[in-house]
Each structure stands twice: as C-alpha cells, then as structure tokens.
Amino acid sequence: MDENESGRTSEGEAAERHDVAAGQHDQRGGEPAEEAPRDPREEPLPMAATESATVFISYRAGVDYAIAAAVKRLVEASLEPAPEVFISGESLRPSAIGYKPQIQRAVQRAKAFVGLITPASKAREWIFFEAGAAWGRNQLYAPLLVEAGTEDLSSTIADYQATNASDKPAVERLLKSVAEATGGILKPWFAQRYAAFERALAAAKQTAEQDPDAGGDDVDSHAAALRKIVSDLSAGDKDSADKRLSSFESSDAPPSLKQEARVAKIVIGTKRTTADSLQALEHLDPETRGSAVCQYFMGLCERIPTHAIRHYRTCIAAGDSRWSRASYEALASALYRVGDVAAALTVIHEGLCASSRELRSNCALLYARTTTTVDPIVTMLFFAYAEGMNGSSAALERAVNLAIEREWLAVAVHYAREHANTKDGSTLQLGRALHVNNLRSQAYLAYKRAADAGINVAKVNLALLLTQGPNHAGALEILETHAGRFNVAHPDLPYKVRADCEQALNRETQESDRLAETGGEVAGMLASTAADGLSSLRRPRPLDAFFMDGRRKIAVTATGPHEYSCTTNGFSAVARCPEPEFPFWILEETPAAAPGSPPATLLGGAAAIAEKPYVRTVLAQDDSGALRGFRYDFSTAGARPTVVAWQPCARPEVA
C-alpha cells in the first residue's frame, strides 16, 4: 500500500497532534484528554522517518510489533520536541532506496537505542547489531523488559541498565535519559501517557494470547506454515517438509496457497523418482508451469546443472516470493557445482542485499561454507551476521567449531552458550568450549547434560575428561548422591571435601561467565562490523583517501590489487581484502617508529601486539564512507575489543 494513500496519517501529523494536545492542556490548566485507542498495526511507518531518526527501537519483527508501536507512541508523545522514532525489523515498507539502506541510515543517525526484550526476543542475537552499534558510537542503549526479567538478558547486554516496562518511575527515568540524548525534555503529565502505554501493552498481550500468529509479517499463519516447508526443503529435511505439507493440505488455507502446496506435493509427498516428478511438473498447464513454485521444484528435480540453473533464474525473475528466496541458495550452489564461482558470488551478493532476514542469513552461511580461501576472521564475520539475522543454530554451531579450532577462547564460550539455548542445540558444544578453556568441572556438567539427552559422543568426552586430571564437579556429584551417613574416621572430612569442591566449581562458574561476557562483546562487534561492510556491497568505494581517527590523519593509498597502505606519523599498516568481492579488510600492523620514540602502532597499542598470532583489526566501510570495525586479541580470553572508527577528512595542505 502506498504510504501516501488517503486515510493514512503521516508521522509528522501524529507528532503535531501530540503537540496540539499538550497546548490544550496548558490553556485549560487541567489534565490532557486521553488518547483514542488505535490499532498498532495501522500505525504508519513512512520511510521519510529514516532520514532524521534520532531514537532507534529494535524488536522481534512480527510478534512484538504491537509492543514496539506502543513504545514508539510513548516516546513521541512524552518528549519535547518530539523526536523521530525508527522501528527496525521486517515491518519496513518498500521504498526507492531499499530495505537495508534504511536500517543503516537510521542506525547512523540514532542518538539513542531502545532494545525491546520480550519472551519472543530474549534469545535472539539480532540485538548484537543495535547494542554493538550503540556501544561503538558511545550512544545510549537501554534494554526495555516487557514480560521478561533481568535474568533473560544475554551476556552481551547484561551490563546495560535495563528498565522494566511495568515500573512507571523507571520508564519515566528511561525517557528522561532518551530526552537528554536527543536534546529534548520530558513533558509533564507523564502518568496519563504511561496509563495509555499500559493499556496498549495489555491489549498486545491479549491479542498474542488469542492469536499467536497475529502481528507484522506473520498475520497470515498459512503463509508462515508454507515458509516452514520451504525452510525444511532448503535444509534438506524432506521428511519434515512432507509432514508439514500433509497438515497444510487439510487446513483452511486460501486457494492460491493450496495451489502451491499441490505443486509441492508432486515432488515431496509421492514415491516418484526425481525424473518422474520433473515429467509430471512439465505436463502442468502453462500458467502453473511458469509459476515460481513450479520453476523452483523443476530446478530441484533437474539433473542437468545448466537446466536447473535456468529454472532457478526463472523462479527468481518471477518476483519476490518464498520460492524465489529459496532459489537464491539453490542457484548459488548449482553455479558452484559447474565451476562458475563469479556468478555464484554475484547471486550471493544479491541474497545478502535482500529484504528477507532468513535469506540474508542463509546466503552468509552458504558463502562461509563454500569459500575456504578467506581469513578465518572474515568467515567468523559471516557466521556472526547469519546468526544475528535469525538466531540460526547452524550458524552458531559453525561459529563454535571455528572458535574452538582457532582457540578463540572467550568467543567459543559465548557462542556455545547461545547454541545450547536454541531449539536444535545441545550442551555438547558448550562442553567442548569449556574444555579447551581448561574449565574441567564446567565441561563435565555440560557433557553430562548432553549425555543424558542421548548424545553418545558426550560420554566419550566425559571419559576422556576424567582421565586428564581432578574434576570437582564429578567428586561433588558423588557426595551429593550419597544417602545416609559417611562412615569415616573424621566425621567432618566429607563436608570439608564437599565445601572445597563447591568453592572450586564456583570459581569456574565465575570464569565461565566472564568469558561469555567478553565473548558476547566480541560477537556484538563482529555482527556490527559485518552489517556495516555488507551494507556497502552495491556501492563499494575505493579506499584511497585521508581519514581522521580523532587524533591524527591517516593516509590510505593503494599499493596493489585489493591492498592498501595505511600510514601516519611514521607508523604503517597493510590493509588486505581477503576476498575482493566483499568489503572487509584485515589490518596487519607493521610498527616502524622513529628512533627514540615509544613503541606504538597505528592504532596506539604496544608494538609487541603485532607479533601475536591472533590479533586482528577488522575494518568495514559503511554507507558514509567511514571505516569502522574493531581490534581484538583472539588469543587472550580476558581481552576486550577496541573500537576502530576512521572518518573521511580533507587532504592535508602541502607547503
């Protein structure tokens, strides 16, 4: 629907209505009139708001839309002047500049970030993007808890001061902080506005309980069910897709969706060979045969790669749909199989720039899985990006494996914890991550939970762990399961042993929490840097320029294909792009200080830091042309990431 369609109200008019209401209050000397209730799903979200957004609200798209809209109205109505408020997620409407640039512009302009934490969003790592962006820019980031507690905060944002939406004084303090960050003030009569906010939250909760599929892009539960069938097919789980399809056929889905299901049934729900299925699809009527769903399944059944590629391209050309999105991954894989790597990367680029979070996540995973020539840090960037898009357990598992392989200690623990909390995850990976950190008691407990869940390899890991030295968790388990008296010469000995074991286990717990917290910060910076870099895929800029790091000017000049020299004050570094098609640079520092000067590097650390094997400075170029990223010593569990921000500046004058 056109955002200018008659009957829809603009954001500016909505803000003006709030201002008029405040003016009437001043004239009457009484309390402002209560706002008429509005359907939050009818609240307009024009793209013009992204041009000057100063408050960025992140939320779980679809299920939390009504709550996010209520927070948006509360912020706009309570602050003077009313700030522009941007709501992230898939509820964005189409516009000429596309989906991702809107998000990037809003993040860059935001002076305050409010992260909506609900039961639906608490385990989702997309909050890395907003939290990482706020942290990197030294801006306000405020988690707002709705039907959630502080224990639901991930380690990434646990250090931030969270606000419970049911605590009116706390919400008022939060809005005062937002007002300070945006250069405004909090209007009087907050109690009335908060009462309207409470009613909106109650209405959203009631709607969610009555219709779990209501809200945002998931209003049509049948379309959501069909998307799950596509996801199962993309993951190669044909049995699960068949079960979902059988259930879908007996539902009250619209005829158009049932037609798609009938086409899918030709391939999924029969005992036909792929050749017979392809022949059956080819004998459908011309209109059905030319549809996106039919072209997708024809590509799936086609054994000749070039023919399959043609079908997938036809499916994508049919328009944005659940089937064309699935075709991106299938097409890229088919192009890789025939050796056309350049064309495959082009398809992945298009998928990474798409509006679908799931497609962007899957394309990032596909790239990381099929390309082995890139720097491991860049591979981890793609895992972080994929996991941040939709909480992918596959991305988390691969991230844990890579971190363990490279001995990136803190990152391994963080991603392993997140993986254990996913639907398809287990504590086996957590046990491995704790094991490489020499936290043997914590690893024992994780392996034990995995073994109890039926993962046999966890039993082997348990046995191996017990051969490597003392294990306080195992000893404590023996004492805790004992029934009756201890027949020992010294009656207090069992209790002393138990106390020692509990203290040792507590120390490991604290160390594990510390590692996960540090790893969470690194994961946030990885996700934020990946988002910055991927945002400039369509318009990559050459790096030849002068930048300012806040203290000095840095000259960046080309020295070879996909290689740049960064120099300032006698210090230099080489920025290499490990994969030319993607805008990520790994900065390799080569200190060359003048005699007598203190050891330093381009980024201001000790000279010896360049000699460590896993110190990496990762840079990405955002839409404004700035170089952003972070530096981190992956080999040190307790290290903290350092933000890198170089703004473009004018060429220095030459005498």
Distance CA 96, CA 565 (A): 37
Instruction: Classify residue 141 by its DSSP letter.
Output: E
Closest CA to 509 of 476, 478, 467, 466: 476
Give the model's pLDDT for residue 577: 76
Distance CA 528, CA 104 (A): 11
Give the model's pLDDT for residue 103: 63
Distance CA 585, CA 563 (A): 9
Give the model's pLDDT for residue 489: 63
Task: Please compute the mean of the pLDDT values over residues 319-337 and round it to a whole number.
Answer: 81
Model pTM above 0.75? no
Domains of the chain by residue range = 11-216, 373-520, 536-649
Give the model's pLDDT for residue 604: 42
**pLDDT > 70 in the chain, percent:** 68
Give the model's pLDDT for residue 652: 59
Distance CA 259, CA 274 (A): 20
Give the model's pLDDT for residue 510: 92
Q: Model confidence at 200, in pLDDT bands (50, 70, 90)?
A: confident
The two structure tokens encoding residue 390:
């939709």
Give the model's pLDDT for residue 432: 92
Fold of 11-216: Rossmann fold (3.40.50)
Give tens-digit pLDDT for 390-417. Answer: 666 778 888 899 899 888 889 999 999 9
| Of the listed ranges 74-83, 355-364, 435-444, 540-549, the one predicted with least confidence | 540-549
Q: Which amino acid, one-letter code, is at 488? A: V
Which phi and psi angles does 10 have, rounded to 5°? -75, 160
What is the CATH number that goes with domain 536-649?
A: 2.40.128
Task: Please compute the mean of the pLDDT values over residues 569-575 and round it to a whole number.
Answer: 72
Which phi and psi angles does 631 have, rounded to 5°? -120, 140
451 has a pLDDT exceeding 80: yes
606 has a pLDDT exceeding 60: no
123 has a pLDDT exceeding 60: no
Give the model's pLDDT for residue 370: 72
79: enclosing H helix or E strand = strand 79-80
598 has a pLDDT exceeding 50: no
9: enclosing H helix or E strand = none
346 has a pLDDT exceeding 70: yes
Q: Model confidence at 431, in pLDDT bands (50, 70, 90)?
A: very high
Give the model's pLDDT for residue 33: 41
Give the model's pLDDT for residue 605: 39
171 has a pLDDT exceeding 90: yes
Q: Model confidence at 486, in pLDDT bands (50, 70, 90)?
A: low
User: For the chain, what is the mean pLDDT?
Assistant: 74
251 has a pLDDT exceeding 80: no
Give the model's pLDDT for residue 447: 92
Distance CA 335, CA 353 (A): 19
More confident residue, 55 or 390: 55
**pLDDT > 90 in the chain, percent:** 8
Q: What angle do CA 223, 224, 228 make, to 5 degrees?
A: 115
What does 378-390 look like in DSSP terms, one character per residue? HHHHHHHHHHHHH
81 has a pLDDT exceeding 90: no
Give tens-digit pLDDT for 5-54. Answer: 333 333 333 333 333 333 333 333 344 444 444 433 333 333 333 444 57
Class of domain 373-520 as given by CATH: mainly alpha
Distance CA 425, CA 418 (A): 9
Examine domains 11-216 and 536-649 and report if their fold is the same.
no
Q: Model confidence at 128, in pLDDT bands (50, 70, 90)?
A: low
More confident residue, 9 or 467: 467
Task: Please compute the mean of the pLDDT values over residues 495-512 and round it to a whole number.
Answer: 87
Q: Residue 83 in contact with residue 71, Cβ under 8 Å? A: no
Q: Residue 86 in contact with residue 36, Cβ under 8 Å? A: no
235 has a pLDDT exceeding 60: yes
Instruction: Out of 257-271, 291-305, 485-499, 586-600, give the one with best mean pLDDT.
Output: 291-305
